[in-house]
Chain A
Amino acid sequence: MFRTKGLIGLVIFAALVIAILLIFTDKWLESKIEEIGTDSNEALVEIDGLDFSIFGAHLKWNRLQVTDSDSTMLNSFETGKCAFDMEFFPLLSGKVIIENFQISSVKTGTKRAYDGAVKKTRQQNTKGESSFISGTMDRLNSEIANLPQYRFVAAVTKFNVDSLIAILDLRSPKKIDSVRIAAQEKYSYWDKQISDNSFENDIREIESKVQTIDLNTVKSLDKIPGILKNIQQIKTQSDSLTRKFESTRNMFNNDLAFIQSSYSNIDEWIEEDYQRAMSMAKLPEFNAQSLAKIIFGPSIINKVNTYLGYVETARGYSEEFSSTQPKEEKPPRFKGQDIYFYNQYARPDFWIKNIELSGETQKQVKVSGIVKDIISDQRFINRPTNVKIEADSKDGIDMLLTAVFNYLGEKPQEILTLNYSGFSLNNTKLSDSKFLPNNIREGVGIIDANFDIQGSEIIGNIGFKADNLKFDFDEGMKAENKFEEIIQEMITDIRLITVEATIRGVGNDLNFTVNSNIDKLLSDKLNSIIGREINDAKQKLMSKINAEVAKYKEAAEKVVREKETELKTKVEKYQTIVQEKVKLVEAKKKEVEDKKKKIEDEAKGNMLNIFKKP
């Protein structure tokens, strides 16, 4: 049943494996750490001279280089020789626990011998609370992307009204023309209606009927009732004519009112075309707030997003380890998803209890710091992760960075404060914006920043002060246009620049504001000069639209002017005639009644005379 040769082979195989492990563990571990580090840094992480002793649970290396992912020919930092001990028994459970990790000879911003760029493969964490961080980063980026930047200068100088009108396809002429056609149709209709001889016929008929009644021939009362009946019929006919005419006149007036109201929209349509043209022309409005964002926004957002990136990574790991019901992922084939099981009495998977770092930057600034409790799950120790880094130099540089990453509560919380003062601004640029293009020859900077992120709420304040400023105008800084001339003229006298930025956000609501002492100065200057040009451009645009629309408007108004008056005159004429005929009928009626009375009176007199005679 047993394979004797196999057993011997197995022993030899095991011995070989141990020997290989002893020889190659260092290389394997080195490449594994480099791979994981590079993946999370998104730029090369390299370790030289790694030495691992499994029995002593001891690890050391000669040099560690971490490439700056934004500038891959530089290292974010590098270390000299480092060593630390791990607890042995937890290693058998795949747990790494480091008591004290001393990182010495830390140098920042060192040059690399070759490019440390790698193809970015890391996926953004889009789960839970950390998706708020990536969402905030996206929203901050879009704030900057939507700023008008430098385009207003090009917008004003390259502004071409004719080409804009050609692209615009004005809508008001078509609308005006359709109103004119509709009005013409209405007028034609009414022209026909009014010219129709139905009124004339009625009037003539009434007139002739009235004229046929000759009262001179009436001598006796017996003819009077017949005449009165006839008069009554004529009156009924004239009343009917009056009603018919009034109804027609009302309809005519309604149509006139409708045409008038259509015409009253013309100015509104022209204004709409103008507004569309303005939005296509993208002529910017200046205000201090948008200028501050344009000048300082991108560099602030860039730095804030770097910090938020660290927070997102920390939250991602915290969520992975603290979730009792982890969300199912879609891992690559054969990779699977690791499910973590928390036991408060066990040891954490990863824990560096204490990191002490010390070193010097390229500019002889001494850096020292302590990082406490980098741990896979803070519930094991019931303490948050704390970071404190200090720096100072003989030149007056003073820096204190503190950070607390607290994942113990219901909501994750990160608090960061940075006080950095006395750093040199010599040969630097405050902004990549064209509004502040010059290098600083001399200057000293101060930064005060604090961030508090709790769950899906962020509160951040960044204060920056650049003092004793002198700008550089020597190298190739000759003003090429009026705009640059204004900027250079203005910043010549600036000695102090202060910037206050605030970020407030809850969930998807984000408010990012930037204020600076040069905002007002710049906006006033720009508004007075460039603003004038923008106003000219607006005027030009308005005139062009008015000219394009004028012929249509004039044609439409002409129709109204001519036809409306003509038709109104006709209607008034008929109104007068109808009223005259009504009066004529009334007069005839009265005449008949008078005649009747006269005959009756005469008859009464004759009768009395008969009775008086003996």
Chain B
Amino acid sequence: MFGFEILAKLFKILRSGSSPAQIAWGFNFGMIIGLTPLMSLHNLLILILVIIFNVNLSVVFFSLALFSGFAYLLDPIFHNFGYYLLTAPEFLQGFYTAIYNIPLIALSNFNNTVVIGSLVSSLLLLTPFFFGVKSFVVVYREKIDPKLEKLKIVKIVKSSKIYGFYEKIRDWRD
């Protein structure tokens, strides 16, 4: 039931009034929070951005849940990448040393291998994911959704008692 609800919610988001850019930003913000350690200073900043800007919150939570799973799997890679970033590039050492001693920035825990590894990785993924998700939403709305609506299985599901029951609950919750 939970999986079904998530899937339904995802389809609902894709068809909702939110613009593709709002959905894409929500997905990216969720991705950053999901991939990086939750209790980090930069995540507080992301949270503020999510609250201030009109991004789709449902997508943020969906993306956060999705990428939290990836974060567990990718943790050793983030550690290695972070270790490389913090130790290997000689030209960055001065920069790191300077910001290490700047109040508040030092509290960001950037000198932790997993924090910097995952943050830089998610920032690198930001642009392709933004345009990728945005394009997907446009394509989905224009081409995939109308086809899906015409599918027999969708019609059967929609006419089923379970879906009717689900809709009632959803309306009641809304």
The proximity string for A residues 325-348 relative to B, scoring 1 for CB distances below 8 Å and 0 otherwise, is: 110100101111111111100110
Number of B positions contacting A (CB below 8 A): 35
**Shortest Cβ distance from A409 into chain B, in angstroms?**
23
The proximity string for B residues 53-90 relative to A, scoring 1 for CB distances below 8 Å and 0 otherwise, is: 11000000000000000011001101110110011000
**Shortest Cβ distance from B84 into chain A, in angstroms?**
9
**Shortest Cβ distance from A106 into chain B, in angstroms?**
33
A2-B52 contact in complex given A338-B111, A339-B113, C-beta closer than 8 Å:
yes
Any B CB within 8 A of the CB of A121: no
**Chain B interface helix/strand/loop/mixed:** helix
Residue of B nearest to A335 (CB): B114
The proximity string for A residues 80-122 relative to B, scoring 1 for CB distances below 8 Å and 0 otherwise, is: 0000000001001111000000000000000000000000000
The answer to whether B51 touches A94 (Cβ under 8 A) is no
The answer to whether B103 touches A92 (Cβ under 8 A) is yes
A337-B100 contact in complex given A10-B51, A326-B87, C-beta closer than 8 Å:
no
Any A CB within 8 A of the CB of B13: no
CB contacts (< 8 Å) of A547 on chain B: these are none
Any A CB within 8 A of the CB of B101: yes
CB contacts (< 8 Å) of B115 on chain A: these are 336
**Chain A interface helix/strand/loop/mixed:** loop
Any B CB within 8 A of the CB of A9: yes
Q: How far is the CA of A546 from the CA of B150 in the complex (A)?
A: 102
CB contacts (< 8 Å) of B72 on chain A: these are 333-334
Any A CB within 8 A of the CB of B163: no
**Shortest Cβ distance from B144 into chain A, in angstroms?**
28
The answer to whether A342 touches B75 (Cβ under 8 A) is no
Any A CB within 8 A of the CB of B18: no
CB contacts (< 8 Å) of A347 on chain B: these are 101
The answer to whether B112 touches A338 (Cβ under 8 A) is yes
Q: How far is the CA of A9 from the CA of B52 in the complex (A)?
A: 9
**Shortest Cβ distance from A45 into chain B, in angstroms?**
23
The answer to whether A89 touches B103 (Cβ under 8 A) is yes
The answer to whether A6 touches B106 (Cβ under 8 A) is no
Any A CB within 8 A of the CB of B135: no
The answer to whether B107 touches A93 (Cβ under 8 A) is yes
The answer to whether A336 touches B106 (Cβ under 8 A) is no
The answer to whether B52 touches A6 (Cβ under 8 A) is yes
Any B CB within 8 A of the CB of A3: yes
10 of the cross-chain contacts (CB-CB < 8 Å) are: A6-B52, A10-B52, A93-B102, A94-B106, A326-B87, A331-B113, A333-B72, A336-B115, A339-B87, A347-B101
Q: Which residues of B contact A (CB under 8 A)?
A: 37, 48, 51-54, 71-72, 75-76, 78-80, 82-83, 86-87, 93, 96-98, 100-104, 106-107, 109, 111-115, 117
Other A-B pairs beyond A92-B107, A95-B106, A346-B101, 10, CB < 8 Å: A3-B53, A6-B54, A10-B51, A93-B103, A93-B106, A333-B75, A334-B37, A334-B114, A337-B83, A341-B101
